[in-house]
Amino acid sequence: MSGAEGVPDLEVSDLGVRFGGTAAVSGVSFTLAPGERAGLIGESGCGKSVTALAIMGLLPSGARAEGRVRAAGEPVLNRPDREVARLRGAWMAMMFQEPRTALDPLKRVGRQIALSARAGRAESRARVRELLELVETDPDVARAYPHQLSGGQLQRVLLAVTLARDPRLLICDEPTTALDALVQQRVLALIRRVCAARGTTLLFISHDLAVVSDLCDRVMVMDGGRIVESGRTAQVFDDPAHPRTRALLAAGDLAAFGHRERVPAGTAEAEEERERWP
Ligand SMILES: Nc1ncnc2c1ncn2[C@@H]1O[C@H](COP(=O)(O)OP(=O)(O)OP(=O)(O)O)[C@@H](O)[C@H]1O
């Protein structure tokens, strides 16, 4: 599926989400052009995940959404589940924080990738191999069950599951927080390479500003359910206008920990990943 000329991949206008009498998200508006990579940052509870779930049409039943979300020009909010599911399958995919809960423990990972790809029996083996190669993973991993894999491998498998239907828009919600620093860097570099190679539009949710500065052309800062500042990543981080952005930068100490030079944690898993993915 490809977008019509001039139509943004994602258009969010005046999005509001309430749980009972409480507003979790209010007046959120932004658009993502094809191939753009935007970060959504803010402290815990500010509304990042709820925004992502609204975009994906995956809000819990207690939520009430208003405003407008359009993916590839098609409305998402308050639409029948089946139609939104079709849009998700054809257009957008979301990668969650915890692969151990996102994957089925009882199915081999190759089968999970094949199910997501919806490939026919004949082509599914080749498609699984192709997807595992895309995420730079040994195709033999297809035979493993999730518990047999390391956190970094699981995150790669989850990326393969997520990319199986060639989404134009990829939403990542803190995809690497459970990983140690070295493995995290490798998975993020992989996400960057895959998005660049496929021209995938990315909405990347994180509280790690260094990761966002590394990965995203644009950044939006949320506070209390609203976007309080947005702009080119370098500009917002070099010259933050809003007190919340300044507070986040101070807390993250972005300049001091220079993302690319972060010291690996040196855990067994980091070592294992280093051997496997030199
Ligand atoms: N199912 C729910 N029912 C009621 N309130 C909810 C529900 N899900 C989220 N909220 C509320 O919505 C607000 C925004 O939550 P959200 O999960 O979007 O924050 P977040 O910025 O993603 O935080 P974190 O970085 O911790 O994931 C919070 O006040 C949260 O308590």
Mutate to test the pocket of ligand 1, among 40, 50, 206 (most ligand atoms within 8 A of CB): 50
CA distance 190 to 167: 16
* Ligand 1 mean position, distance from CA 47 (Å): 6
Residue with tokens 């690319």: 260
Residue nearest to atom 5 of ligand 1 (CA): 19
pLDDT, mean over the chain: 85
Which ipTM did the prediction report? 0.96
* Ligand 1 mean position, distance from CA 24 (Å): 7
Evaluate: CB of 134 within 6 angstroms of ligand 1: no
Evaluate: CB of 48 within 6 angstroms of ligand 1: yes
* Ligand 1 mean position, distance from CA 245 (Å): 19
Evaluate: CB of 60 within 6 angstroms of ligand 1: yes
Give the pLDDT score at 258. 41
* Ligand 1 mean position, distance from CA 219 (Å): 20
* Ligand 1 mean position, distance from CA 18 (Å): 10
Evaluate: CB of 226 within 6 angstroms of ligand 1: no
Q: Is 187's pLDDT higher than 60?
A: yes
Give the CA radius of gyration of the chain: 19
* Ligand 1 mean position, distance from CA 49 (Å): 7
Residue 71 DSSP symbol: E
Beta-strand pair 92-95/10-19: unpaired
Residue nearest to atom 13 of ligand 1 (CA): 24
Contacts 24+ apart (CB under 8 A), 86-90: 87/57, 88/56, 88/57, 89/118, 89/165, 90/1, 90/165
Q: Is 56's pLDDT higher than 50?
A: yes
* Ligand 1 mean position, distance from CA 26 (Å): 13
Q: Is 79's pLDDT higher than 50?
A: yes
Evaluate: CB of 28 within 6 angstroms of ligand 1: no
Q: Which residue has the higher pLDDT, 82 or 261?
A: 82
Evaluate: CB of 47 within 6 angstroms of ligand 1: yes
- What integer is the mean pLDDT of 99-110? 88
177 three-class SS: coil
Residue nearest to atom 24 of ligand 1 (CA): 44
Mutate to test the pocket of ligand 1, among 22, 28, 46 (most ligand atoms within 8 A of CB): 46
pTM above 0.80, yes or no: yes
221-263, pLDDT tens digit by residue? 999 999 999 999 999 999 999 999 999 998 875 544 443 333 3
Mutate to test the pocket of ligand 1, among 19, 22, 56, 221 (most ligand atoms within 8 A of CB): 19
Position 55 confidence tier, pLDDT thresholds 50, 70, 90: very high
